[in-house]
Amino acid sequence: MNDVSIFQLIISASLPVQLVMLILLGASIFSWALMYVKWGYIRQSQAEAKNFEGRFWSGINLSDLFAQLSVRQERRFGLEAIFENGFREFARSRKADLDNSEVVRSAHRAMKVSMSREIELLETNLPFLATVGSVSPYVGLFGTVWGIMESFRALAGVQQATLAMVAPGISEALIATAMGLFAAIPAVVAYNKFTSEIDAMIIRYENFLEEFTGILQRQAHSPR
């Protein structure tokens, strides 16, 4: 009794409180893992965009760039994917002898589709982080309220109540809140950081798309 360790408290907690703690622990573990994955993906996208923009504006022939990309076996993503889809569509519709403005428009459309796919890839699983960030304090609070309720209920039949009888119960219940906050804080921070970075990436993609459309328009009007 005199050595009250957290471990003992958790083990001796009532079943709902233990369940809440388990859920929170799981949420925390998953959110951290997700953060790691997401962080890696965003870093990779940023590096790719920088690299591709460098290549694109280096003055290389667009057909050569396209050939280089299509030779590569691995999956293309980010700006590369947008460029590839747009240019392929442009070449195809030119072969089909469409009107100049129609050619540019179809290429633009293809790039838009590609871009929205990329954005979706960037944004997947972000809602999980947001949910963990906003809900887990409530879950923890629920565990705490339940635990305190239990400990007061146990007090009802006793003639002389002492602080020592309630204290372990409340302490045990408060662990749930602590765990909820522990899960929520990193999730919220990560969510905010990721959304701002993804927004920046989207703007980057959009800018590239418009610029590339301009270039295609110029090419479409030049003689074939």
Which residues of the shown chain bind another protein in the complex (CB under 8 A)? 2-7, 25, 28-30, 32-34, 36-37, 40, 124-125, 128
* Residue nearer to another protein on the CB measure, 25 or 60: 25
Cβ distance 129 to 31 under 8 Å?
A: yes
Cβ-based nearer residue to another protein, 36 or 152: 36
Angle subtended at Cα 163 by Cα 149 and Cα 165, rounded to the nearest 5 degrees:
60
Task: Report the nearest approach of another protein to the CB of residue 68 (Å).
Answer: 28
Nearer residue to another protein within complex by CB, 110 or 122: 122
- Provide the minimum distance between the beta carbon of 213 and another protein in the complex, in angstroms, as a whole number: 32
Residue pair 168/4 in contact (Cβ under 8 Å)? The answer is yes
How far CA 38 is from CA of 121, 135, 197, in Å, comes to 10, 20, 11
**What kind and span of H or E run contains 12?**
none
Cα radius of gyration rounded to whole Å, the chain: 28
- Cβ 23 to another protein shortest distance, Å: 14
Q: Which is nearer to another protein, 2 or 222 (CB)?
A: 2
Residue 129 or 201 having the CB closest to another protein = 129
Q: Which helix H or strand E contains 157, and what residues bound it?
A: none
Rounded to whole angstroms, how far apart are CA atoms 67 and 51? 17
Shortest Cβ 29–another protein spacing (Å): 5
